Amino acid sequence: MMKVFLVDDEIAIRENLRNSFPWEEKGYQLVGEAPDGEMALPMLRDLNAEILLTDIRMPFMDGIRLCEEVQRTMPWVERIILSGYDDFSYAQKAISLGVREYLLKPVTSEELGAALDRVRRQIEDKRKERENLTAMRERLSSGNQFLRDKLLASLFTDEGDPEDDDALIGQMRALGINLSASCYAVIDIAFDAEGEERLACRNALFTMAEMSGGGVFICSAPKGARALVLGDRPDDAEERAYSFANSLIHLPELMKAGHLLISIGETVNDFHSIRQSMRTARHARHLQNAERPVDHIIIGINEQKGSDNPLPEKELSPLYERLQYAQTGSVEMILTEYSESMDPALALGYLRVAALLAARRIIQEAGGNPKDTLDEQQITEALHTEGEEGLRRLAALLRSAMEYRDQNRSGYGDSAISHARAYLAQHYSDPNLMLQDVADEVHLSQSHFSTVFAQETGLTFTQYLTALRIGKAKELLEATEMRSSRIAQEIGYNDSHYFSYLFKKNTGMTPGEYRKESRNEKK
């Protein structure tokens, strides 16, 4: 079944399209709908839709703006425009955004079916292209492609010379690649596949990057591949990185590969700092591999761990930057290096303050409370013991914090997700509640939050919210005489017909049938 998402601000039109077109009979699944583009955007990503069917004229975010955002962050989603206005300027704009189909309302079932079938063929053609191993071999054997691959790979090696980076930009530009951007993030993609399966995976990755329109570039790597994500702002780069990573999880070629691990490095503002983003992405992968083998997971190093009172950046010392990703066994060596590089009369005093700040931040970053984790006596002894013994006690304090970090790293999103669940329990009845609202509440970007939420709960945000609302609807149907339309409003649905559609889809019964059956069981 090919997944379709519908966006139109007119309830009557959504209801007509939902009920009059034989979706499943024609090989399609209507996975969701929304009244405007702003609400639709995160749901599209969340539901992994393949085709967007959207109106032009809508409040908040119109269809053209929605298509622009989809083209920027989810270019693999094909778009069909619906419009009640025979305005050629809209058609021109839609075509410039890669929209293949433009339908005028009222749309008949035959017209919609024909448009969907044309788009389906386009999607299937692209999939066949990805599966074409011969094309992959030809691409890799091409001189330009081989050179592009090697040049891009040089940005991710620790041995790279930053002084050569400017020349590299010029060489890439000569090959038709513009790497100039305000922000960058590196994605490390590791998967278990050999031979033709590995070629198929890399072919799919290259195709996905090409669809980004210059926002993502892929090169081969020993354990899989690496991607360089370009952005205009830090939040733009992170959003694009997580959107791209989420799309990779659903690629058929990568789904067949064992132990797919996608790690996202920190966002950097300078081309010369790309290697730092690579190091943090690689570190996230190593931490996850050390914790446990995985089938398919996305993990980022720049997680906000849900700390209620994070330390302001101005309080952080350079010592924290050294310890943030260090192994516990290297603590003594790091402290010794700091001690030997400073005035002996000042070194221990500085290290006491810096080590305590670093220990607190490491625990907070792992979602914990330093007061609950660090022993008060241990802190007192570390802060008041002189000489080499004082250094040893500081090292022990830091090891305690780092051990807590290592024990809790696989649940890096627990605190944020607990907060999100509590927020949803309070606000599920708001019909305008969106993923963005909850992501803002827990201080994560939309794609970042969507990824963490799904991996921690086993449900997408939309699935979780729908289950929460349907569960509440069941309670109201069992315990009250409220009409179905009133219950829909109580749980956050303005469209009572859509509520009934969702209820039956999730329970197999209409609200009325459920009420009757539940009461018969109690007799």
pTM over 0.75: no
Nearest to 206 by CA among 152, 281, 276: 152
Mean pLDDT of 496-505: 87
Work out the angle at residue 120's Cα, subtended by the Cα atoms of residues 118 and 126, and round it to the nearest 5 degrees: 110
161 and 292: one domain? yes
Does residue 33 lie in a domain region?
A: yes
**CATH code of the domain containing 284:** 3.30.70.270
Q: Which domain holds residue 233?
A: 133-300
Question: Average model confidence (pLDDT) for the chain?
Answer: 81
Does residue 305 lie in a domain region?
A: no
Position 5 scores a pLDDT of 95
150 and 291: one domain? yes
Q: Which of 78, 98, 130 is the last residue of a domain?
A: 130
179 and 242: one domain? yes
Does residue 421 lie in a domain region?
A: no
Does residue 469 lie in a domain region?
A: yes
Side-by-side strand order, sheet with 216-221 = 216-221, 224-231, 183-192, 258-264, 296-300
161 and 219: one domain? yes
Does residue 448 lie in a domain region?
A: no
Work out the angle at residue 222's Cα, subtended by the Cα atoms of residues 219 and 224, and round it to the nearest 5 degrees: 60
Position 290 scores a pLDDT of 47
For the chain, counts of helices (H) and of strands (E)? 25, 10
Give me 35's structure tokens: 């009244």
CA 447/CA 4 separation, integer angstroms: 20
Give the β-pairing of 183-192 and 78-83: unpaired
Does residue 95 lie in a domain region?
A: yes
| pLDDT, tens only, 107-166 | 889 999 999 999 999 888 877 765 564 455 455 555 567 778 888 888 887 666 667 777
230 and 219: one domain? yes
Position 253 scores a pLDDT of 77
Number of domains in the chain: 4
Three-state DSSP state, 36: coil
159 and 289: one domain? yes
Q: Which of 272, 300, 328 is the last residue of a domain?
A: 300
117 and 145: one domain? no
397 and 506: one domain? no
Cross-strand pairs, 28: 2
Position 79 scores a pLDDT of 92
**CATH code of the domain containing 14:** 3.40.50.2300
Does residue 420 lie in a domain region?
A: no
pLDDT band at 177 (very low <50, low <70, confident <90, very high): confident
Position 315 scores a pLDDT of 35
144 and 247: one domain? yes
73 and 181: one domain? no
Q: Which residue did the predictor score with more confidence, 379 or 341?
A: 379
295 and 317: one domain? no
259 and 370: one domain? no
Position 412 scores a pLDDT of 45
Position 86 scores a pLDDT of 63
Q: Which of 78, 106, 130 is the last residue of a domain?
A: 130
pLDDT band at 56 (very low <50, low <70, confident <90, very high): confident
| pLDDT, tens only, 260-319 | 889 999 899 988 888 888 888 887 777 665 444 556 788 886 553 333 333 333 333 357
Does residue 355 lie in a domain region?
A: yes
